[in-house]
Chain A
Amino acid sequence: MEAATETVQESGALSFKFTGNGKEYFGIWIVNLLLSIVTLGIYSAWAKVRRMQYFYRNTSLAESHFDYHGSPTMILKGRLIVVALLVAYNLAERFSPPLAMIAFVCLAAGMPFLLMRSLRFKLFNSSYRGLRFHFKGSLGGAYKVFLMWPILSAITLYTLAPVWHQRLKDYQHNNSAYGKANFSFNVPVSAFYKIYLTVGAVLIGLIVAIGFLFGGAIFEQIKSTAGGGNGYMNPKTMLLLFTFPLMIFGVGLLLRPYFAARFQNLIWNNTHLGPHRFVSNISARKLLLIEVTNMIGIIFTLGLFKPFAVIRTMQYKLESLALIPHGDLESFVASQEAQVSATGQEAADLFDIDIAL
């Protein structure tokens, strides 16, 4: 009897469920949008809280729900900091290039700190069954993944980009915790290289093919239609020059869902929470279908389809993810308690930097 329950629980993957729907979200989204425009963007911090609460509270695992606790004023503070930094940088650039250099260095040096704080904000303000998540990444770690690895990958002409990506995921997932249980993540760099090389090879192949098929034709057309006119560069030429990157973009559009799907699967299939593991079986083809139809919808409704698009993608991504509990999930979750270190004092210093990671 004991053994029987054990096997059921071992194989019994618990799917994430998402109960959001496009019609409901449209109302939230359009009112958010209007109020954000009318308040010149200030309301966008409150809008973010409403949006996140809608997403989190409509997400459930084992019949319990998630929640988002971000404070709008802290989000606004984070946004103001980012705007102030960008304005300062632009002013410096206008008035003196050496000053701009210094501003750029300061910005680069400060960014890892801000990004680390924003990861902490995001996790600290996420909860499941009333218990919050935590991010414990160190500042040194943040400097490595947000400064050292980007620089190293740039100077090696991005041949080290997969290493950077792996270190970033390692930093995020190995430093996250739920109550007293830690997340763990263990994927070798070679697995990242494998996906990057596959995508890179397909991308190069398609670009070369497009180049052979259309490159000559485009060049001929530029030569024959250009000439004449007395104003700015001939828009015909511009439009034609435009076609080529658009095709490359089309290729990118086809490959992006593949890339996203492979990585979601790789990363979550190798992430554990305590003794439990996650499993993700997202399909690149379905994700592509969703994204292409979303884009068509957005273009033909002049953007009004956006909230439906967001819900469709989120629903598919979440419902492709499941938790495989090891032993009794209920008693594991019920025994989780808040960590003493996560005091209210600490939370009060956190602010959000809106950069998707």
Chain B
Amino acid sequence: MTVQGNYYDGQSAKRHRVELRVEEDIAYVTGESVDRSAPLGSLHVSEQLGAAPRLITFADGAFCEIQDHAALNALLAQTGYREHMTARWQRDWRWIAASAIVCIVLGIGGYFYGLPLFAKVVANTISDDMASRIGHEALDGLDGAYFKPTQLPEARRHELTEKFRRLTISNSKFLNVDLEFRASKVMGPNAFALPGNIIVVTDALVNIAKDDNEIMGVLAHEAGHLEKKHGLRLMVQASAVGVITTAYIGDISSILASVPAVLLQAKYSRNFESEADRYGAFLLRKNGISPHYLGDILERLGESRKQKSNAVFDYLASHPMTEERVRELEKAENEN
């Protein structure tokens, strides 16, 4: 039994038409100015890659290129040759389907469980110095775009800073928070935490509060975000999703790649909000303040928000479940 092929010596590109045959575990290649043989064990047979020719390579790099797949497979079957298992999996639809299913399951699992876990680990390795640099950079950016200097009198700011310091000092492992006051038309009554233990609170929030304990409630909630490093975790998650999608989709711009990150952010941040609420309630109770203050101001903020908000985007909003959160806080109060 013989198979037709082309022989190349690996030193020149000259093509030799040859025939390949196997006798007693010795392969013979004969044809146009070629006559060589080698024991089967010294030859390498390339795996079958679709319509591509298969190569039978000698130890010195010379090889036979064979296009006749059926004839070669028959010859190989006679010699008892067995392809590498990976090469067989690549053609077997059962393995292909199983691989696809496992990849999809791993992808979904990684997205919902692996990624948050990874972000948590990475966020914990980010040094305070680095976090503070990130936070201050973000604050500088916001100062340029949205904020004006605060209009609150200095005494008032000092009073709130002191109250908040007393609140946080009660918790032994806490956190020297840098409380920043800003005025902003665009942000309205708002407060948020930035990496590096920065909490920004707007004048409008201070003014909308009916009791300082309400402000303390909001600040305790933000302190929860800092304590749990939510900001850093979101950042790590967003960049990880960005990197993976970019690597995966390849040429397509990283802007598109960050779409899943943003969508994911909304879902993650709902979990983060309730975690911060629990921490806030804990901090308030520790200082003898009822958690209902946080619930009260949340409700008021929800009201002021409803009047302005655009319903289309409400599904994605990071604080959509005010009522549920208020209920949870009331529960926290009853436990008190």
Residues of A participating in the B interface, judged by any CB pair closer than 8 Å: 19-21, 24-28, 30-31, 33-35, 37, 50, 53-54, 57-58, 64-65, 67, 93-95, 128-131, 179, 221-239, 242, 245-246, 248-249, 252-253, 256, 291, 295, 298, 302-304, 306, 333-338
Contacts and interface: CB of A to CB of B under 8 A. Distances in A.
A24 B52 CA distance: 11
B31 interface: no
B102 interface: yes
Contacts of A335: 12, 14
A54 B317 CA distance: 47
Interface in B239-267: 248-249, 251-253, 255-256, 262, 265-266
A67 B49 CA distance: 12
A298 B218 CA distance: 43
A123 to B, nearest CB: 15
Nearest to B100: A30
Contacts of B308: 224-225, 227-228
A183 B192 CA distance: 60
B117 to A, nearest CB: 15
Contact of A236 (B49, B192, B298, B310): B310
Contacts of B38: none
B51 A19 contact: yes
Interface residues of B, number: 81
19 contacts: A21-B51, A24-B49, A28-B90, A30-B96, A30-B103, A31-B86, A53-B46, A94-B127, A221-B310, A229-B188, A230-B189, A231-B319, A237-B186, A242-B262, A246-B255, A303-B107, A306-B248, A336-B13, A338-B11
Interface in B101-145: 102-104, 106-107, 126-127, 129-130
Contacts of A338: 10-12
Contacts, number: 212
Contacts of A230: 189-192, 205, 218, 221, 297-298, 301, 319
A29 B248 CA distance: 12
Contacts of B331: none
A58 B50 contact: yes
Given A67-B55, A129-B15, A20 B50 contact: yes
A99 to B, nearest CB: 13
B205 A334 contact: no
> Which 6 pairs from chain A and chain B are nearest by CB?
A227-B188, A130-B8, A228-B305, A57-B52, A24-B50, A129-B13
A180 to B, nearest CB: 10
A20 B93 CA distance: 18
A347 to B, nearest CB: 11
B161 interface: no
Q: Which of A130, A236, A333 has the most CB of B within 10 A?
A: A130
Contact of B313 (A233, A235, A304): A235
A246 B256 CA distance: 7
B258 to A, nearest CB: 8
Given A24-B49, A233-B192, 16 more contacts: A30-B103, A50-B90, A57-B46, A57-B49, A57-B53, A94-B130, A227-B308, A230-B192, A231-B269, A231-B318, A231-B319, A235-B262, A248-B255, A334-B14, A337-B12, A338-B10
A26 B96 contact: yes
A27 B305 contact: no
